[in-house]
Amino acid sequence: MNKKEIREKFSAEPQRYYNVNLFEDQGFERKSCNICNRFFWTLDSEKGKCPDHSDDTYSFIGDPPTAKRFDYTQAWKEVESFFVKNNHTSINRYPVVCRWRDDLYFTIASIVDFQRVMGSKVVFEFPANPLVVPQTCLRFKDLENVGVTGRHFSSFCMIGQHSIPNENGYWKDECVNLDFNLLTQQFGIAKKEITFVEDVWEGGGSFGSSLEYFVRGLELGNAVFTEFQGDLSNYKTLDQRIIDMGAGLERFAWITMGTPTAYDCCFGPITEKLIQNAGIDANSSVLVPYFTEIARNLELYDDLSQVRKNTIKSTGLSDEQISRIITPLEGIYLIIDHIRTLIFAISDGALPSNVGGGYNLRIMLRRVISTMDRLKLKFDLDEIIDIQIDYLKNTYPELEKTRQDVKEIISIETGRYDSSKQRMQKIVSKLDQKPSVEDLIRLYESDGVTPEYLKEMKVISEIPSTFYGKLADLHQSKKQREQESFPLEGIPDTELLFYGDDPREFDAKVLKSFENFVVLDRTAFYARGGGQEPDHGKIGDCDIIDITKHGNIVVHKIKGDMPKDGEMISCVVDAKRRDGITKNHTSTHIINTSARSVLGSWVWQHSAFKEEDHARLDITHHSALTDNDVKKIEHLANSIVEKSIPVKIENFDRGTAEQKYGFRIYQGGVVPVKSVRIVSIGDLDIEACGGTHVANTSDVEEIKITRTKRIQDGVVRIEFVSGESAKEFVRKRQQDSESKEREGKLKEQEKEKRVERRQLAKERIPIIAKSLSECKEGVSTIEDIIIVSTESGKANFCYSTSNDYDDVFHIGLGEALCKADPRLVYCGLFEDGEKIRVIVHAGDDISKEKSAGEIVRNVSQILGGSGGGSSKFAQGGGTDKSKKEDAIKNVKIMVLE
C-alpha cells in the first residue's frame, strides 16, 4: 500500500481516524474537494475546494487575517504562553546536530528529539508530558527554493507539541482542540478561516492518520496521531501511541504579518538593513502580487525556473524590475537564511568540511559568497552574524556563548574559498560542454566547484532543480556498521565484573564454547568498545586474542585447547596492560576537554583509540594544530592531572542524563541502552562512556602529546602517551637531546681544531717552503715533511705520511710549494678516522709529465678505494691502512723514475 492508498483507507472510516470532538462541538462539515477529492473539514459552508485548490490561497499576503501582528520572536512567545497555560512543559530546543541518532547528521523534525534507536527499534523518550518545544530543524533538500519561493528555509523552527495519552497527556480530541484554540484565541484567527485536511504521515518506522491545518492556503501545522508501526501494508498498533504535532513558527509569524514573504518577518532587523544597504525599493507595489503569484504557482509546476517564468509573465514585471528588485531580494533572503542556519549548526558543534554533514554547511557558505559576488553585494558577514544573534537570542539565549566561534569558523572558511577560486577557474576553463547534473555533483564533490560559481561564471544559466536533492541524499545519513553474527540464542547476559569489584583474577562458568570462541557467565575482561582495546590474559590455559560484545553478551576469542561447556574455569587479567589502557582512556577525556578549552567550542571527539602504551584522540577542528596549540593543550591536560580531581562514575536514566548534562555527553557517539554510565572529571568533562577509568586524575601521572596530524578535512589526530609510557617518552626525549648535545659539542670541537690547523698551516708553510728552497740535492726532513731534491731536469718531490696534518694543511702547503717550484710534486698521505687519504699537487711544468690525477688513481687503488682530479691537483683514498707503506713507495716510483 502506498501513502495515497492508506489515506483513502483511513478516509473511508472517518469516524475511526479523523472525527474529533471539536468537529462535533463546533459543527464542522466534512467535504471532498471538487478538484482532487481529498477530504477536509470546514465551518465555511460555501467552501468546495481543499486549501491547495482554493481561490483564497495566499490571499493573506498584503491582507493578514488577524488583528495582531507577531514577528518570529513574538510568535514563539504567544505559542509558548498558550501551551504553558494549558499544562504543557516548555522545553529548550535540542541541538541541530543530531548526536543521539546514528542515522542522521541533523535534527530534521521536533519528534526526532525524542526518538532513540535501540537495535532495529525506535523508542520514544519524553522529558515531560505533554510538552512544547521550539525545535530548530535543518533541511537541505530544497536549497534552490530558499530565497525564491517566499516560504522555504534551510532551517526553520518547528513548534513541536507532543503528548503521550496517559494520566498526564492526551490523544486526538484534546490535541485538535488545543490547536484550534491556539489559532482562534491566541492568534485571533476567525474560526471560518481554519480548514483541517485528512492526511497520513509516516516516518521513523511508525505512522498514523493526521489532520493538517490551513489558513488561506498556508499549511500552518500537521497534527499526527502516531499509532502504528511497520510498513503501510503490514503494520501493527504501537505499544505507545503518540501525538506528534509539528507547526512552522515562521508561518505563524507570516500569517499575522502578511508580508510579501515569510523572510520579511522572521529574520529580525537584518533584512531591512541589507535591503537598504543594497538600495532596493522594498516598498515597491510589485512585491505583493509577485510573491503571491510565486506561492500559487509553486503548486502547479515541478520546475522552479518554470514557476518563476510563469510568475513574471502573469504579473507583467519588466526585466528591469526583475533585475533591480526581485533578483537582489532573492539573494538577500538566501544570504540571511543560510547564515542563520550556519549560526545554529556551528554553535552546536558542526564544521563546514568536505565530509558527512559538513558538506551541506560548506555548500551553504559558498552559496552565500557566490551570491554576493554575482549580485555585487558587499556585506560584512560578521555584522550579519551579530545582528542575527542579537535577534535570535530572544528565543535561543545559548547562541550568545558561541558568537565569536561562529565568526571565527566562517572567516576561516571564507578565506579557504577565496584561495580555492583560482583552482576552480582553471577547472571551469577546461569544461567543453554544458555539465549534466551528474557532472555538477562530481565537480562539487571532487573539486569543490559549486553550481553557484558556475552560474556566476555563466557556464550554466540555472541550477538544475534536482542538484541539491541529489547532493543531500548522498550526505543525509551515515552508514550503519555491520557486525559479525554469532550463535548466541538463549544465552543470558554476561555479568560484567569490570563495572563492579573489577578483580584481576576470577572464576567463571563456561556457558558456550564454539570454534575458537568462549562465552562465560561472568567476566572481568573488557571487550573492545568505545575505542578501548580489549584486555589480554588467560582463560584456563588459553590466551585471549580478542574480546567483543554482542548485545549484552561478551564473546572471548582464545587460542589453545578449548574448554568445555559447563566447565568452571579460572581466569587472569593481564593487569599491566589493563592499567596502561585505563590511564590512556581517562587521558583521552582529559585531552578532549583541554583541546576544547584551548581551541574552541567546535571541538568534539570524532573517534578515539586506547592501547596499552599509546593512544590517540581524533577531534573536530578546522586546521592543523600549531606547536603552540599543542603546548597549551598538553599544559592544560597536565594541570588537570596535577589537580588530583576524582573521576566519578554514575548511572543515569538516559533521558535524565541528557536533561541534566546536555548532549555534550555523547562524545563517544550514540548510547544504544536506556541506562547511561556517566563519567565525570569534576565539572570539566562529563561523558557517557562505558570504558575503564582511573579513580583520580593524579593516577594518570603525566600526559605527553607525541604527535598531531590533520587526518581529514575538519579532523585532527592527537597521539599521546600517559603514565609509565609518558615517563618513558620524556626519558627518551631527554636522552635524545643529551646525545644531540654531545654531538653538538663534538662538532664544535672539530670546528675549533680545524681553525687551529688552518692557523698552524699558515704559520708553517712559509717555514717549510724556505727550508725547501735551501735544500740541496738529496733528502732532508723538516717537521715530518720529507723533501727529495733532485738534479735539475728531474722532478723535485716533497711528501709527508704523518697523521698530524690534515687536508687543509696539505692542500695549503702543496699549493704554495708548487707555485714556488713548478717542477715539484707534492703528496700528503694521512689517516683520517676510518679512512686513509691522499692529496697530490703537481707544479705547472712537471704536471705535463707526471699527472697528479694519475698518481692519485693509482694510489687510491692500492688503498682499496678510488680518487681522481686534474693533472695539477687530485685527491682520493681508501680504507686499507696496512697499505700505507706500499702506497708511498708507489708514489716515489711514479714521481722519481
Q: Interface residues with Zn ion (CB under 5 A)?
A: 33, 35-36, 50, 52-53, 689, 691
- Of 590 and 887, CB closest to Zn ion: 590
Cα separation, 366 vs 369, in Å, equals 5
- Of 40 and 228, CB closest to Zn ion: 40
Contact 536, 529 (CB under 8 A): no
Sequential DSSP letters for 385-397: HHHHHHHHTTT-G
CB of 408 to Zn ion, least distance (A): 28
Cell digits of residue 76: 514563539
- Of 198 and 413, CB closest to Zn ion: 198
CB of 457 to Zn ion, least distance (A): 43
Question: 592544560: which residue's cell?
Answer: 636
Contact 654, 675 (CB under 8 A): yes
DSSP reduced 3-state for 268: coil
Cell digits of residue 236: 501493527
CB of 679 to Zn ion, least distance (A): 6
- Of 50 and 798, CB closest to Zn ion: 50
- Of 36 and 624, CB closest to Zn ion: 36
Cα separation, 554 vs 690, in Å, equals 14
- Of 52 and 142, CB closest to Zn ion: 52
CB of 31 to Zn ion, least distance (A): 10
CB of 390 to Zn ion, least distance (A): 38
Distances in Å between the Cα of 94 and the Cα atoms of 169, 572, 662 are 21, 45, 9
DSSP reduced 3-state for 52: helix
Cα separation, 158 vs 712, in Å, equals 34
CB of 683 to Zn ion, least distance (A): 17
- Of 35 and 779, CB closest to Zn ion: 35
CB of 687 to Zn ion, least distance (A): 6
- Of 451 and 580, CB closest to Zn ion: 580
- Residues with Cβ < 8 Å from 733, sequence gap 6 or more? none
DSSP reduced 3-state for 572: strand
- Of 44 and 447, CB closest to Zn ion: 44
Calculate ∠ Cα 747-753-755, nearest 5°. Answer: 105
Distances in Å between the Cα of 636 and the Cα atoms of 598, 639, 642 are 8, 5, 10
- Of 32 and 181, CB closest to Zn ion: 32
CB of 137 to Zn ion, least distance (A): 27
Contact 547, 559 (CB under 8 A): no
CB of 721 to Zn ion, least distance (A): 17
CB of 37 to Zn ion, least distance (A): 7
- Residues with Cβ < 8 Å from 54, sequence gap 6 or more? 47, 195, 216, 217
Sequential DSSP letters for 588-653: HHHHHHHHHHHH-TT--EEEEEE-SS-EEEEEE-SSPPPHHHHHHHHHHHHHHHHTT-BEEEEEEE
Cα separation, 799 vs 813, in Å, equals 10
CB of 52 to Zn ion, least distance (A): 5
Nearest of 283, 253, 263 to residue 60 by alpha carbon: 253
Cα separation, 781 vs 792, in Å, equals 20
DSSP reduced 3-state for 569: strand
- Of 33 and 96, CB closest to Zn ion: 33
Cα separation, 897 vs 849, in Å, equals 11
